[in-house]
Amino acid sequence: MSKKTEIGAVKGLVGGVCLSLGLVSGAGATEGDVKVTPLGSHDGEFCALDRAMVFEDPNGTRILYDAGRTVAGPDDPRLGNIDVVLVSHMHGDHLGDRRIKETNAGNCGGPEFPVVTLPQSNTVDIAVKKQAKIVTGSEMPAFFAAKLEAAGGDSANSMLVRFGAELDVGGVAITTVPAVHSNGVSPSFLTGPLAEYLKAAGVGASVGPPTGYVLTFSNGLVVYLSGDTGITAEQKLVVNDHYGAELVVMNIGDNYTTGPKEAAYVINDLIDPKAVIASHANEPATSGGKLKQGTKTALFRDLVKVPMHVPLSGRTIAFNGDGGCTAGCD
């Protein structure tokens, strides 16, 4: 039995129970929904270097995805409690080689990142202060275990989940799926002779391939986080056919990852979710909280056949177990 079939059966049982109790889902109700809150550089906007999102399960488990540079460290008041940190790959704009000091500094197309976090990272700083688990795939867990220990944290909080496996953390099932992208660790994250050698050679250290994630929340919602990737066969065979993802966070930035046309193909023809949140657009996509015409994000919205949600920083979007938006919808 595929995970998709298994989850569907559970949802049917839960739905039957709700009907027998006279409960009505939807209608704007958010209790029991998964809440998604983007944490970007400028309040109420979708800006060029925005990557970070917080997912909150109905049971209270909070997951930070790709902290990057737009979270103001572990004391950012927008973070709250964080139980799990996910990292799609090791590039500085996702791991966080530097970060904002406060929101709204600089402009949406060119945010200011005055705080340098090297040789640690924004990700590790947050995980240590929050005592959160860092869950990654590939060969990344060993790197994070060493970084956590060096920062005074617990190396055991770096946890591995391989492609095809599943790890339950706080009631949320986490698995990794393949992504097609580079994943070198910059020498700036390293110390000692190896860092100097790699820097002189102009190369980075290898920690294996990057990953995407599939998250199954306690309300049954299945979410695919693409990470930086191109089009892959697994988006159809694994993300859709096996897991049945209903909500997708899709990178659309072009050049470094899928562009809006390629991303729309993934959504329309490979995964066919109920909704999609644009991500990693590499552009100031909004002004005054409104999507600007002529942007890659606007093109992506026009090409996809499902509702597309713009990740405005600090604005929470809620989804029920079937992928329907119940609050904060565009």
E strand or H helix that includes residue 111: strand 110-111
Give pLDDT tens digits for 139-156: 999 999 999 999 999 999
In angstroms, what CA-CA distances link 209 with 52, 106, 228, 244? 20, 33, 11, 24
Residue 151 φ then ψ, to 5°? -95, 5
Give pLDDT tens digits for 78-98: 999 999 999 999 999 999 999
Contact status, residue 65 vs residue 86, Cβ threshold 8 Å: yes
Of the listed ranges 41-50, 199-208, 278-287, 310-319, the least confidently predicted one is 199-208
pLDDT of 187 above 80 = yes
Non-local (6+) Cβ contacts of 194 within 8 A are 187, 205
pLDDT of 251 above 50 = yes
CATH class of 3-19+31-327: alpha beta
Q: Is the pTM of this model over 0.75?
A: yes
